[in-house]
Structure 1
Amino acid sequence: MPSASPETRADDALESVIRFDGVGMRYGRGPEVLQDISFDLPRGSFQFLTGPSGAGKTSLLKLIYLAQRPSRGLIWHFGRDSSKLHRSDLPDIRRRIGMVFQDFRTLDHLSVFENVALPLRVAGRKRKEYADDVAELIHWVGLGDKMDAHPQTLSGGEQQRVAIARAVVGQPELLVADEPTGNVDPAMARRLLRLFTELNRLGTTILIATHDITLVRALDVPIMSLADGRLSTGRRKASA
């Protein structure tokens, strides 16, 4: 079967939040850490990304967040060919993506409240418009008594919850989370999963990279698996 034309692939990409087509990625002159990656994140979908350490999950997420460029292949973000994006386009694309990093990336000079509210403040919202919603979300992730604390005084699990709250507070079009439950107990992991599923119900596309098999088994959603830089897809039935 002949491959689709560039015009056809671009039309298909409009139906997806993210689309990869034959993507490869390497750092410097090293070997490819991602090879021939092709997949779609349809609008409103919920998917897991799994794979052993070193499989390339974080590298793939960096491509989605435009923190890295592919060595080859095409990526569309919200229907736009990322290879044609100007540097000035990147902030607008990133504002549409809520990103939970493994290393949290909280700002030490800001309080928990200020860290979580940052995307709204950057978007030009006034504090009186969002203060109640931010406070409610912080309480929901179990940090109501840490509202005025600074990240350096928090545990790793608490910082992770700050990072998650910051990523979801603006109800982004796409939420990408790299091991979002890696530092929390099982009860909090289930609570955070409910937060993600509710956000998905409201229309946000969700991609969660995780080693947490319990988390993956909790939902009957598509699963992408990386091994040695190559991607396969499947589905796991939710546990009874």
Structure 2
Amino acid sequence: MIRFENVGLRYGMGPEILRDISFRIPERSFQFLTGPSGTGKTTLLRLLFMSLKPTRGLITIFGKDRSRITREELPLIRRNIGMVFQDFRLLDHLTTYENVALPLRVRGRDESTYRNDVIELLKWVGLGDRMHVYPQVLSGGEKQRAAIARALVEQPRILLADEPTGNVDPLLARRLLRLFIELNRMGTAVVIATHDLGLMDQVDARRMVLSEGRLEIYD
């Protein structure tokens, strides 16, 4: 589904942040991306999300060469990729329901075609009773679940999550992990960037370890 071959990335004339990165993400797979802070995990996720272009190497996403994807094609392809950001990126003037439904509104969908689906998704992540409140009154864990729901609303083929349990207690972290596992069982490939070894020990999944700009893979 996604393939990196000898990918490198640098900013300007600085040293390479990522060097000779090669891996594949198959359909319906589950993997953790880990490594010390500052090693480039978020940068690698941004390459996967196509918000960055590599300095060198080949990235193939859903059969398309990243370097040949036009600006017009990018939003269409990105609909297949859900992204959960560390800072949630919820809009304060929108309710939980409106934040989750936003990607569909942007596409011009009529609310009658998605309202029930959004409500069911909010119930699935445990926010059925919080859909009409604003982000300012949500807890950190509730904001995280709202961000996950928004990433899932377009039914992506792959979900990328950047430290999704970094701001929640261990109990909620396990609950979020169960959501990701269930999502994977339903057919979505999952990539979770985390430094939480305890979290990773709960799932028999591939580990991609970044260290000093290089990637090692442990199946």
Aligned to 2:24: 40
Residue aligned with 1:36, SS:
strand
Q: Which amino acid in the other structure matches residue 63 of structure 2?
A: G
Alpha-carbon displacement from aligned partner over 1:78-110 (angstroms, at most 9, x marks no partner): 010001111111101111100001111112221
Distance 2:36 2:61 in 1: 26
Q: Which amino acid in the other structure matches residue 111 of structure 1?
A: T
TM-score (norm 1): 0.86
- Which one of the candidate residues 85, 103, 109 is aligned to 1:101? 85
Distance 2:72 2:189 in 1: 24
Per-residue deviation at 1:123?
4.0
Per-residue deviation at 1:128?
2.9
Q: Give structure 1 stretches of 5+ with no counterpart.
A: 1-16, 236-240
TM-score (norm 2): 0.93
Instruction: Say yes or no: does 1:171 pair with 2:155.
Output: yes
Per-residue deviation at 1:124?
4.3
Distance 2:69 2:155 in 1: 24
Aligned to 2:140: 156
Alpha-carbon displacement from aligned partner over 1:173-221 (angstroms, at most 9, x marks no partner): 1111101111222222222222212221222111111112122111111
Instruction: Say yes or no: does 1:189 pair with 2:161.
Output: no
Instruction: Name the count of aligned residue pairs.
Output: 219
Query: Residue 52 of structure 1 contacts residue 211 of structure 1 at CA under 8 Å; is this kept in 2?
Result: yes
Instruction: Say yes or no: does 1:212 pair with 2:196.
Output: yes
Distance 2:94 2:42 in 1: 26
Instruction: Say yes or no: does 1:134 pair with 2:112.
Output: no
User: Percent identical across equivalent pairs?
Assistant: 63
Q: Which runs of 4+ in 1 moved over 6 A?
A: none
Aligned to 1:180: 164
- Which one of the candidate residues 112, 126, 137 is aligned to 2:96? 112
Q: Which moved more, 1:183-192 or 1:123-132?
A: 123-132
Q: Which amino acid in the other structure matches residue 42 of structure 1?
A: P
Larger relative CO (CA 8 A, sep 6+): 1 or 2? 2
Instruction: Say yes or no: does 1:91 pair with 2:92.
Output: no
Query: Residue 171 of structure 1 contacts residue 199 of structure 1 at CA under 8 Å; is this kept in 2?
Result: no
For the pair shown, the structure with the greater C-alpha radius of gyration is 1
Distance 2:35 2:172 in 1: 23
Alpha-carbon displacement from aligned partner over 1:41-85 (angstroms, at most 9, x marks no partner): 011111110011001100000111111111111101101000111
- Which one of the candidate residues 126, 129, 136 is aligned to 1:145? 129
Query: Residue 23 of structure 1 contacts residue 71 of structure 1 at CA under 8 Å; is this kept in 2?
Result: yes
Distance 1:131 1:143 in 2: 15
Q: Which moved more, 1:35-44 or 1:102-111?
A: 102-111
Aligned to 1:54: 38
Q: Which moved more, 1:122-131 or 1:105-114?
A: 122-131
Coordinate RMSD, CA, aligned: 1.5
